[in-house]
Structure 1
Amino acid sequence: MRSPLLSPRWLGIHLVALLVVLVCATGTSWQFVRAFEPDREVITNPVEDLASARPVEDLLEPGAYMHPDSFANQAVEATGRYDTAEQLLVPRVVDGVLGHDVILPLVTADGSAVTVNRGWAEEGQDVPEAPGGEVTVTGWLLPPVGAEGVVPVEVTEGQVERIAASVLVQEWDHPLYEGYVTLPGQDPATDSLVPVPPPEPPTEVEVNWRSLSYTVQWAMFGVSAVVFWIILMRRELAEARSRRERASDGEEQEGQPAVAGS
């Protein structure tokens, strides 16, 4: 006998149930990923971020504290003139080779300055002069380099031990933005220098409790839909079995011979 669960009506119910389960599973998976993704809301390609770079003055004010977890690694842009006379070198070893990061202030229209890391040069390498005139630079904003973990080195005239506004204010006569900007390889200021690699996306995970609660809700709704689907099928099968039993009892009663009266 054909199962009642294969009737056209039930085939439609099965299809709807499967769609509901699929939607719930998708919603659960999506919200779970959002709940445990890195603490940046949208992880994108750092190079692609440059196309939507924000003016640095929209994020910070000169002299204001920059929390390392606030705007670090964001793409920013700034317009001004390089103060080439204030260029400094910061010792840094790359792959066992001693060299220097080349930094200088980009002085904006209001007299404040953004620290720009042009790139890395090997020890003894000639560093070309930075572009003159007004320029607009686009790069990645990095937090100042803290003193912790920095190996003390003997610096000479024209060098500083690390890139930090607290150190550079003693060298440059400009109000400084906290942090510094690294440039992509296509920027003219990186000419013949080794560009600082783009920042890696953050790897630390911060639980998004709202998304986690949505994950539980989607999962509960999906489980409820499956349970309701099973209950409906069990009820339908029970009713079909009851109808067959009643029909069988009726046939048996009709087939019994009539008892003659006395």
Structure 2
Amino acid sequence: MSRGTTARLWLRPGLVGLHVFAVVALVFCVFMGLWQLGVYDSRQGHERADQQDVPRVALSALWGPDEPFEARLNHRPVKAEGSFAPADEQVWVSDKKLGGRSGAWLLAPLIVDGDRALLVVRGWAPAVTDPPEVPPGRISIDAVLEPGEASGSAFDPDRREIGSVRIPALTNELPYDLFSGFAISTTASSSGGLELVPPPEPGDVSWTVGLRNLAYALQWWIFGLFTVFMWWRMSAESVATARAKVA
């Protein structure tokens, strides 16, 4: 069968309508997918802006030690007031990098009220050594809240070292009612000469924000691929049937 005959079979009036419908449906699916992707990007942008515009507030007005660490607290800048626990109650957190260098964080309980304490990262050191003394008396520090970490080596009581900021494990080692998250201090005067640890940027927004819209975008594009498949199958079957009749 010649190319001209094959082309006429594909362009029969009965199939032209199917071709037009397939093109319109495919364009619609692509457009809707792009629209949902735009909504996803917009939600990411709004979340990033919301985090960057969060004002610093007093810890006592925002969160308590008996309350869970909620999403609204993540990377939240706060001003915490209290007095540091004795220096020998500080804990080193190993395997922490700063500027590509391996080292450790120094974690100190900040007693905010009675036996209630917030674990504060005072700073970073290239190696585990005798920890510096804590600032005396009641102080006020600027800090950024972070959720507790999940994995890491167990607490070593001799070296006072642990592999991550695991709040449940440290609750068993410290005589305080600990907050369910910790804070990274940005106040140099409380670091004891250690290098301050830069907290995560507020703009680090999880890709799951607006996940439903991203899923809708993928769903529309899958519909588009299904449209192409059904168009090809129906058209090919119709052309094969017409070719058999001609033959």
After superposition, the Cα gap between the structure-2 partners of 1:54 and 1:39, relative to the gap in structure 1 and judged at 3 Å, is: same
Residue 106 of structure 1: which of 110, 119, 141 is its match? 110
Contact 2:133–2:192, Cα closer than 8 Å, also in 1 = no
For 2:122 and 2:190, the matched residues in 1 are separated by: 6
Task: Mark the runs of 5 or more structure 2 residues left unpaired by the alignment.
Answer: 1-37, 213-247
Q: Map 1:34-183 to 2 at 5 A.
A: 34-37=42-45, 39-40=47-48, 42-44=50-52, 52-67=55-70, 69-84=71-86, 85-94=88-97, 97-125=101-129, 127-147=131-151, 150=152, 152=153, 155=156, 157=158, 158-183=160-185
Paired residues of 1:144 and 1:165 also in contact (CA < 8 A): yes
8 A Cα contact 1:121 1:127, kept in partner: no
- The answer to whether the aligner puts 1:189 opposite 2:190 as a matched pair is yes
The alpha-carbon distance between structure 1 residues 182 and 98, as it changes in their structure 2 partners (threshold 3 A), is same
- Judged with a 3 Å threshold, the aligned counterparts in structure 2 of structure 1 residues 44 and 145 are, in CA distance, closer, same or farther, namely same
TM-score (norm 1): 0.56
Evaluate the alpha carbon distance shift between residue 41 and residue 58 of structure 1 in structure 2; reply closer, same or farther with a 3 A threshold.
farther
Q: Give the aligned residue type for 2:175.
A: D
Q: CA deviation digits over 1:52-99, x for unaligned, max 9?
A: 3222233322132213x3311000121111002311111124266542
Q: Is the 8 A contact 1:116 1:181 kept in 2?
A: yes
Residue by residue over 1:129-180, the C-alpha shift from the partner in whole angstroms, topping out at 9 and shown as x without a partner, is 1211000111100000112xx4x37845212222122011111111111111
AA partner of residue 145 (structure 2): L
- The answer to whether the 8 A contact 1:36-1:208 is kept is no
Deviation at 1:109, TM superposition (A): 2.7
Q: How many residues align?
A: 171
- Matched residue SS, 1:179: strand
- Match in the other structure for 1:198: 199
Compute the RMSD of aligned alpha carbons.
3.0
For 1:114 and 1:56, the matched residues in 2 are separated by 10
What one-letter code is carried by the residue in structure 1 that aligns with 2:90?
Q
**Higher Cα radius of gyration:** 1
Q: Which has the higher strand share?
A: 2
Distance in 1 between residues matched to 2:211 and 2:128, nearest whole Å: 49
Percentage of matched positions with identical amino acids: 21
How far residue 120 of structure 1 moved from its aligned partner, in angstroms, is 1.0
Aligned AA for 1:53? R
For structure 1, the residue ranges without an aligned partner over 5 or more in a row are: 1-30, 210-262
Structure 2 SS opposite 1:168? helix
Contact kept, 8 Å, 2:57 with 2:78, in 1: the verdict is: yes
CA 1:153 to 1:61, structure 2 compared with 1: closer, same or farther past 3 Å?
A: closer
Give the TM-score, by structure 2 length.
0.59
User: Could you tell me which amino acid in structure 2 is paired with residue 173 of structure 1?
Assistant: P
* Cα distance change, pair 42–124 in 1 and its aligned pair in 2 (3 A): closer
Q: CA deviation at 1:125?
A: 4.7
Q: 1:129 to 1:154 in 2, by over 3 A?
A: closer
